[in-house]
């Protein structure tokens, strides 16, 4: 069996601290590794956000994943900083997802109208169901299928990472899904505006299509801006409405994991019925909807949310290695292609029906 195959099939081994050859004592403490890993992710997030300010069309989250992957594949990242990387990719991610709720108000979603809301629900539900079914036919594992389904149907890399934390996905499955979101989501930015123009869609129809089919919030905003000012506002709100669907989907997956844990005989602790970060997300949406927060506080919180998610994506990117992508085979890429086409088709049909 090749080393690449073993890297995927064998469970990840705990990182052992470096030791002094004379005394046998660890030369790096866990605290030092925690601090160093968090600082590295902070630097990566700052670089990605800086690039995002210079090139607004580039999502800081996706840029951070690419930067992390480049770092991991070009240099050797020391193992002793793994505690900080794990903290960033899990804890910081969940706080960032919770704060994502501050971008959305319930009134914005209701203002779309019940027809568009029904389209958004159909995109997420049918997108997940169709992707899961296609993945089953391709012979992919349940966790790999659900990671791709949620990432492509809800909100990209953030949904992939949030789903991975709920369903206890293997690291290589999580990283594969994140890499696929980067590739296919980026391709959607120019593809949707070009196709919308070729089909003669109105700005409202094109905005609904962009917001309903493109993976990341920043990607949908970029595509909406290319289409036109009228499409930009529609695409942004439709995309954020899809983000709101993260809460019920994660609650369902959390309940499923709880039932599975209850039915097992391992004696392991049951996961929470609704993940804490999902409750935090809904609480932030409610807080923003209440109108109690001054706009400068909302702006500051949104910057913090972007920074946290960007740092988490950088940590995830460090785990993406070329050997991993080669070893997983073509089936995840086939599923990502089918899911992209499927979700885009549902969104296009919905835009034509309601606009």
pLDDT by residue (tens digit) across 131-186?
999 999 999 999 999 999 999 999 888 888 889 888 888 888 888 888 888 888 88
What is the distance between the alpha carbons of residues 216 and 154, in angstroms, rounded to a whole number? 8
Q: Domain for residue 3, yes or no?
A: no
Closest CA relative to residue 215, chosen from 282, 292, 290, 161: 161
Q: Domain for residue 341, yes or no?
A: yes
Contact status, residue 48 vs residue 63, Cβ threshold 8 Å: yes
Contact status, residue 185 vs residue 213, Cβ threshold 8 Å: no
Please give the model's pTM, rounded to 2 decimal places. 0.78
Structural domain harbouring 347 = 30-354
Q: Domain for residue 43, yes or no?
A: yes
Contact status, residue 340 vs residue 20, Cβ threshold 8 Å: no
Question: In sequence order, what DSSP letters do the residues of 341-355 get, joined into one string?
Answer: HHHHHHHHHHHHHH-
Q: Domain for residue 200, yes or no?
A: yes
What is the distance between the alpha carbons of residues 44 and 323, in angstroms, rounded to a whole number? 22
Contact status, residue 41 vs residue 91, Cβ threshold 8 Å: no
pLDDT, tens digit, 9 for 90 and up, residues 287-319:
999 988 898 988 898 889 889 989 988 988 887
Total of domains in the chain: 1
Does the structure show a pLDDT above 50 at 3?
no
Question: What is the distance of C-alpha 340 from the center of its chain?
Answer: 15
Interval 329-344 mean pLDDT:
93
Q: Domain for residue 16, yes or no?
A: no
Contact status, residue 127 vs residue 156, Cβ threshold 8 Å: no
Q: Domain for residue 273, yes or no?
A: yes
What is the distance between the alpha carbons of residues 19 and 21, in angstroms, rounded to a whole number? 6
pLDDT at site 230: 80
Q: Domain for residue 1, yes or no?
A: no
Distance separating the N- and C-terminal Cα atoms of the chain = 55
Q: Domain for residue 12, yes or no?
A: no
């Amino acid at each position: 069996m090749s080393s690449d195959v073993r890297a995927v099939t064998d469970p990840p081994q705990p990182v052992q601290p470096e030791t002094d050859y004379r005394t046998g004592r660890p030369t790096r403490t866990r605290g030092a590794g925690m601090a160093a890993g968090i600082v590295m992710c902070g630097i990566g997030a700052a670089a990605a956000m800086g690039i995002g300010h210079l090139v607004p069309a580039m999502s800081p989250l996706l840029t951070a994943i690419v930067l992390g992957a480049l770092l991991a594949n070009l240099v050797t990242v020391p193992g002793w900083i793994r505690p900080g990387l794990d903290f960033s990719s899990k804890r910081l991610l969940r706080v960032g997802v919770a704060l994502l709720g501050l971008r959305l108000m319930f009134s914005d979603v209701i203002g779309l109208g019940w027809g568009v809301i029904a389209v958004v629900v159909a995109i997420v539900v049918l997108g997940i169901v169709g992707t899961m079914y296609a993945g089953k036919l391709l012979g992919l594992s349940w966790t790999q299928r659900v990671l791709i389904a949620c990432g492509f149907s809800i909100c990209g890399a953030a949904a992939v990472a949030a789903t991975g934390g709920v369903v206890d996905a293997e690291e290589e499955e999580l990283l594969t899904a994140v890499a696929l979101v980067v590739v296919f989501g980026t391709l959607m930015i120019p593809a949707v505006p070009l196709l919308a123009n070729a089909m003669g869609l109105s700005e409202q129809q094109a905005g609904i299509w962009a917001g309903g089919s493109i993976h990341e919030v920043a990607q949908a905003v970029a595509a909406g801006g290319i289409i036109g000012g009228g499409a930009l506002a529609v695409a942004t709100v439709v995309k954020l409405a899809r983000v709101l669907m993260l809460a019920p989907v994660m609650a369902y997956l959390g309940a499923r994991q709880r039932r599975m844990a209850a039915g097992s005989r391992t004696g392991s602790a049951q996961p929470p019925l609704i993940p804490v970060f999902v409750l935090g997300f809904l609480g932030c949406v409610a807080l923003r909807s209440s109108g109690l927060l001054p706009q400068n506080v909302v702006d500051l919180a949104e910057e913090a949310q972007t920074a946290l998610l960007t740092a988490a994506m950088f940590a995830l990117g460090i785990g993406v290695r070329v050997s991993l992508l080669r070893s997983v085979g073509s089936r995840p890429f086939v599923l990502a292609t089918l899911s992209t086409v499927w979700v885009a088709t549902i969104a296009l049909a919905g835009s034509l029906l309601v606009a």
